[in-house]
Structure 1
């Protein structure tokens, strides 16, 4: 027993000795690695963080978004992080160029002296640091181009850059600032993915293909890019070519903002669409935020609400399809108020309209008359009425290729909540939730003789110049109604503008057809008097429809309730936008009488900028266009010649348009006063006068 204990005791001694030896080895390794010094007093080995090679995502350049004319709506501008590997350059090169680099860095960043920058890179080299970020501020593309000529960053076919690193990061930029902001969308700053609008809807195409490249993680978490092969480079994203026209978009936003501010309204939207193709030319969404309006919600796509009286068109068309009414049949609306199953139905016109025709019921937007026409036929055929709403494509989304479109809610007898008065309320636009885009698509089909066209925002997707996807207009195979019903619906919509609730926007220059809609707002389950959702939906020119449009002004405010209906609020917005579009789109104008269809030989312009005159001549088929460049003028014989605009001299603006004259004069520092209309006939300061001492001096130009 004693021998056994002696053996165990000796084994324990051996165990402890082995443990002590192991600890001694570990201590020695740590000491040599981190603490032992040489005879000169320096560490044998400095303490440095272990370098680790990791994979890191290198984001691809995101694709651009273009307007219909090729203008940029969104693009990615590169900025660059500036770094340097001071160990790459040979000692002689480093010593000769480090002072120059310090001076250049000091000039471009301006936060440190040249000596500070020189000391920073020298210290990094002495400590064999493989990568040092030179400044937190990213440089622009123009600065990057300049830096590529600097020491350490310069590279040629024979000589690689000596340690300089310019790593790109792409930031999204909207050249037109907030124009169509909700439609274009924006990006998540952290992930670079689209959050909304086209940026989110076409995320895979726009994003391209990121590359997973190698980086060396150095001390402090600094990541130094490691050169990879050509297969590891990211693939740039594709470009979207939208149907948006920046001119129409500006018209829509300007008119909408003006109306919202005038009525201190809560929100609103405008959509302009091409009738034949469904291409959306403008889509504006504004919401009041404090004392100004911003695009923070897409009311056009997601703003479901009771459409109000604009829905009466669907009711009338269903009745016409069934041949249940004629437009000239009398309807006894009485004093403008009636009751049905405890539901009070009232007209906006006080005192009512008495006995009127079915056509006038629609033109005057009579709720009582609409109820009576529905009651005469569809109250015993609710399913039939609801089937027409499906046929009119009002019960499902349009299918526009953009995320966020709301699903319409239109009641039917099989749904929970259907009651004896549901059909009555639906007949003039209540007990349903439909978006402005869905209602516009329905009216657009009427303008298109019954052919329903899907709204479109993206025409093409391209990779460089190669077309990857070419979207063509989608038209439902079957028309939503018969040609006869479409024609009668067009008559009704034209009558609203010539004789009905929108007669204030009728004009002799071109015909508008459309319908007003004023829906009372529901707050806490009750309809509120004076709180309205106003809208106008229509198309123009009425005799040959080219554009359809909806304008919405939600919750306008004012002392006179009678001036808060759609005819006074939303319809004028429609007319303002339509007027500007008609003035802008020369193709909508009839040819002048007495002019041949061949090339014309005179422009009527005496002078101008050659590029502009080339465009005008090409568009209007004018034969006599200038051959030169820059500013030009005509001679007495009708020939074009160059018109000089000398530096430091008052230019000759006689014969120029107002826009060109103001541009030239204000660029010389002159204040311009304008008298009359037409082209410039006289200027108060003679051409060629020196501009020294004329800064902010007034020049008067007379037009004629």
Structure 2
């Protein structure tokens, strides 16, 4: 007779087999589709193929910025046995010609450890069938700048995800960013790719290429000369712009000190900032050329009229207007040549307040130029309703007004091109990976400000500044040069200090 304990054991065994049978029936019949899908998903995988970011080129097609599609390799040491570590070290030693000891040392750390960073993508071929749990390769593209620091403030830079965060890289990020591709693959149980499903895959589409208006040759020259000027004068920094006055095209734009966009994080914001657009200053005596243009355009002066310049000292509304060089009398022509504060103050009194304001507004002051670069300042232009007795005289020689360098060169261009203000332009065109034009950027004429006749007269006056006046250092033996010098005290924390901004705008 079978005792009760034996019956219990037999019952448990039978019940267990019945439970397994029911579970198998569930898996193989009732939930077959669900588990088949899970198994397929474990074998099938969509691999993202990163699209290449577009290039930035100069007007001649010279490449300024491009992407290296590098890869990085890392391991999760928590998933590695000593045998796996030895296998990985041996493989990496062979591929990268470093000692196994080097890689074993790296893998002594706990967690995710990079073994090689930003190496050429071709190295992936060496690891095609290298399968070890905890070993991973990832796309790690690098943005490269062909000429290092050259045009750094124009080009800008990108973050680790290759998203533009300043300069052209930021403004034209949507154009430069491509569309990632997808590669659908089927893997075997060991994780090796056995099938590529082309019908489901999608090739990546590279980003568009952006052509700038600058010429790299001019840019390099400007940067070299700017550095030399700053060093020779013992200055803290400098800004230089080269612009075609008849189109608004920027041929070169530089700030010194500059920086390497690949290592932008090594310098502070003060160095990275494109001060030609972001920083405002009181322009000083360069403003006298614009004031003189207003006077000429309204028939309020003629070049040979004599002005009593008071031996360089003139008092108005309890303020002393002082000239560095003392003259009893000067012609209107000489007022500009010798940069007389007294002379331009007396002449500015002939201009109606609202007329003066309108001209200054038309020259572009008080508004940003809308150049295709980020963080541009609008400057400050006081409205005539808020003028004091001293406002117009002070504005006439470049105080009580704040401007950016890009505003000044645009305004000056209108003085010499026949009287037309053009929007400064840094972008020439955008083309796709097949070199087909996506968008062509044309010169934009904003408005006429002064007459062609006035333009010719003010040009001649500025030729005199270089030939006979304060701009003599700009003279060239093989060409006629015109321009206007400017010096203004810096205004810091609500007061004028002993430091100066010195500038020259020439043609």
TM-score, normalised to structure 2, is 0.77
Distance 1:288 1:533, change over 3 A: farther
- Write the mapping of 1:25-64 to structure 2, written as runs, cut at 5 A: 59-64=50-55
For the pair 1:510 / 2:479, whether they are aligned, the reply is yes
Instruction: Summarize the Cα distance change of 1:325–1:211 in structure 2 as closer, same or farther, 3 Å threshold.
Output: same
Among 513, 518, 538, which residue is 2:506 paired with? 538
1:79: Cα distance to partner? 0.9
TM-superposition CA deviations, 1:474-508 (whole Å, max 9, x none): 123x4211111111111111110011101232232
Q: How far is 1:364 from its partner?
A: 0.6
Tell me, what secondary structure is at the counterpart of 1:327? coil
| Aligned residue number for residue 109 of structure 1 | 96
Aligned match of 1:388 in 343, 352, 359?
Answer: 359
Structure 1 residues 159-212: Cα deviation after superposition (integer angstroms, max 9, x where no partner): xxxxx99653321001101111111011122x4211110001101111123468
C-alpha separation in 1, matches of 2:128 and 2:324: 79
Rate the CA distance shift 1:227–1:83 in 2: closer, same or farther, 3 A: farther
Unaligned runs of 5+ in 1: 1-24, 30-49, 85-98, 121-131, 154-163, 217-221, 540-704
Q: Which residue of the partner structure matches residue 595 of structure 1?
A: none
Contact 1:410–1:433 under 8 Å retained in 2: yes
Equivalent residues of 1:257, 1:293 under 8 A apart? no
Deviation, 1:277, is 2.2
Cα separation, 2, equivalents of 1:292 and 1:192: 20
Could you tell me which residue of structure 1 aligns to residue 327 of structure 2?
353
Aligned equivalent of 2:154, options 174, 183, 203: 183
| 1: CA distance, partners of 2:366 / 2:113 | 59
Helix, strand or coil for the counterpart of 1:314? helix
Q: After superposition, what is the alpha-carbon deviation per residue over 1:611-637, rounded to whole angstroms, capped at 9, x for unaligned?
A: xxxxxxxxxxxxxxxxxxxxxxxxxxx
Match runs of 1:511-590 below 5 Å:
511-529=480-498, 531-539=499-507
Q: Tell me which of 328, 341, 347 is aligned to 2:304.
A: 328
Structure-1 residue corresponding to 2:279: 303
CA separation of 1:394/1:524 partners in 2, compared to 1, >3 Å: closer, same or farther? closer
SS across alignment from 1:469: strand
Native 8 Å contact 1:268 1:286 kept in 2: yes
Deviations 1:561-582 (A, max 9, x none): xxxxxxxxxxxxxxxxxxxxxx
Structure 2 residue 174 is the aligned partner of structure 1 residue 204? yes
Could you say what secondary structure the match of 2:430 adopts? Answer: strand
Contact map agreement 2:282 2:401 (CA 8 A) in 1: yes
- Deviation for aligned residue 1:100: 11
**Residues 100 and 151 of structure 1 are in contact (CA less than 8 Å); yes or no, is this contact kept in structure 2?**
no
Per-residue deviation, 1:348: 1.6
CA distance, structure 2, for counterparts of residue 314 and residue 138 of structure 1: 53
CA contact (8 A) 1:408 1:433 kept: yes
Aligned residue number for residue 76 of structure 1: 67
Deviation at 1:452, TM superposition (A): 2.0
Q: Which residue number in structure 1 is paired with residue 11 of structure 2? A: none
Contact 1:277 1:473 in 2 (8 A): yes
Query: Residue 15 of structure 1 aligns with which residue?
Result: none
Where structure 2 has 5 or more consecutive residues not aligned to the other structure, the ranges are: 1-15, 21-40, 76-85, 260-265
116, 141, 148: which one pairs with 1:170?
141
Give 3-state SS (helix, strand or coil) of 1:452's partner: strand
Q: Distance in 1 between matches of 2:65 and 2:480?
A: 36
Partner of 1:124: none
Q: Distance in 2 between matches of 1:170 and 1:449?
A: 49
Q: Which residue of 2 aligns with 1:269?
A: 239
Deviation at 1:113, TM superposition (A): 4.1
Shift of 1:81: 3.8
How many Å separate the matches in 2 of 1:71 and 1:382? Answer: 49
SS of aligned partner of 2:65: strand
Correspondence list, 1:451-462, <5 A: 451-462=420-431
Q: Which of the numbers 258, 265, 277 marks the counterpart of 2:228?
A: 258
Aligned to 2:343: 369
Q: State the distance in 1 between where 2:69 and 2:139 align.
A: 6
SS at match of 1:404: coil
The 1:291/1:256 distance shift into structure 2, 3 A limit, reads farther
Q: What is the alpha-carbon distance in structure 2 between the residues aligned to residue 257 and residue 294 of structure 1?
A: 17
Is the contact made by 1:395 and 1:408 (CA closer than 8 Å) also made in structure 2?
Answer: yes
Supply the distance in 2 between the matched residues of 1:433 and 1:479 (Cα, whole angstroms).
23
Matches within 5 A, 1:411-422: 411-415=382-386, 418-422=387-391
Number of matched pairs: 437
Instruction: State the partner residue of 1:282.
Output: 252
- Give a deviation string over 1:204-252, Cα, whole Å, max 9, x none: 1111234688999xxxxx9x9x977655554321111111211111111
**Larger-gyration structure (1/2):** 1
Give the secondary-structure state (helix, strand or coil) at the position aligned to 1:468. strand
Q: Aligned residue for 1:427? A: 396
1:361-385 residue CA offsets vs partner (Å, 9 max, x unmatched): 111100000000111x12xx21111
Of 423, 434, 437, the match for 2:406: 437
Q: Are the counterparts in 2 of residues 495 and 513 from structure 1 also a CA contact under 8 Å?
A: yes
Cα distance in 2 between the residues matched to 1:237 and 1:436: 32
1:228 & 1:438 partners in 2: Cα distance?
A: 56
How much is the aligned-residue C-alpha RMSD, in angstroms? Answer: 3.9
Q: Does 1:152 align with 2:129?
A: yes
1:66 has 2:57 as partner: yes
> Does the Cα contact within 8 Å between 1:446 and 1:490 map onto a contact in 2?
yes
Change (3 A) 1:68 1:358: same
Secondary structure in structure 1 of the residue aligned to 2:141? strand
Deviations 1:83-135, CA, capped at 9 Å, x for gaps: 99xxxxxxxxxxxxxx9998664222345649x99xx9xxxxxxxxxxx9994
Distance 1:178 1:287, change over 3 A: closer
Distance 1:212 1:151 in 2: 18
**Cα separation, 2, equivalents of 1:138 and 1:322:** 64
Instruction: Please give the secondary structure, in 1, of the residue aligned with 2:437.
Output: strand
In 2: Cα distance, 1:455 partner to 1:209 partner: 31
Q: 1:292 to 1:355 in 2, by over 3 A?
A: farther
Q: Which moved more, 1:230-239 or 1:167-176?
A: 230-239
Deviation at 1:60, TM superposition (A): 2.6
Does 2:374 match 1:403?
Answer: yes
Contact 1:460 1:467 in 2 (8 A): yes
Q: Deviations over 1:16-35 (max 9, x none)?
A: xxxxxxxxx9xx99xxxxxx
Q: Provide the C-alpha distance between the structure 1 equivalents of 2:235 and 2:50, rounded to a whole number of angstroms.
A: 43
